[in-house]
Amino acid sequence: MDRETVTFALPTGRLLNESMELLSVAGIDIEPLRNRGRRLVLKGESASFVLCKPWDVPVYVEYGVADFGIVGNDVLWEVKRDVVEIADLGIGKCKMILAIADGRRIDNFWGLKVATKYPNIALDFFSMKEVEVEIIKLSGSIELAPVVGLADAIVDITATGRTLRENGLVVLEEIASISGRLVVNRLRYKMFHRELSSVIGVIERVVK
């Protein structure tokens, strides 16, 4: 390969600590990540790291500035980038759910107002059910929407369900299981799969 080390795009936020732990168990030198301060590009012995927003991890990998990325399949599903999804890392496990206000009765989904950070996932989900709904894109605190009457329901991720409960919401349907995935650049994987296989192999052995 052109470069001597591989580059990982890692998501800042809830997946970062678990990703670091996993890479460290896999024997990848993550010392630079521990002492990163505020730097976003870090070089280690066996790998380099780029820290970016979870939504951007597939972008960095698609354009090949990173060979690998770690990112949830919620993001992969929503942004639909051209990357190879190689392994389920089993980290950052949670569920994509459809939730409504507790006590609210819903007979059918027609014309439902749905607040979400994931408009594409919501659209896919409801078009699978062959109903048309109104989707309201929000950037955060999705649980708020049914409470204040902005929407009838939400499509969001939940790990323990605590935020839902505390805001008086109940899960109506589980849409998908979400977890951290290892993704790799399409052409790098094609051209250098032998070189990349060793990295993939050690990570997979840790996961399994």
Task: Tell me how far, at minimum, the Cβ of 93 lies from other proteins, in Å.
Answer: 13
**C-beta of 78 vs 143, nearer to other proteins:** 78
**C-beta of 82 vs 134, nearer to other proteins:** 82
Task: Tell me how far, at minimum, the Cβ of 34 lies from other proteins, in Å.
Answer: 29
**C-beta of 41 vs 187, nearer to other proteins:** 187
Cβ atoms of 25 and 68 closer than 8 Å? no
Cβ atoms of 199 and 5 closer than 8 Å? no
Give the N- to C-terminal CA distance of the chain in Å, as an integer. 28
Task: Tell me how far, at minimum, the Cβ of 81 lies from other proteins, in Å.
Answer: 9
**C-beta of 35 vs 139, nearer to other proteins:** 139
Pairing of strands 84-88, 94-101: unpaired
Task: Tell me how far, at minimum, the Cβ of 19 lies from other proteins, in Å.
Answer: 16
Q: How far is CA 136 from CA 84, 145, 151, 153, 200, in A?
A: 30, 9, 8, 10, 38
Q: At what angle do helices 16-25 and 193-207 cross, to 10 degrees?
A: 100
| Binding-site ranges for other proteins (CB under 8 A) | 64, 73, 76, 80, 82-88, 120, 181, 186-191, 193, 197
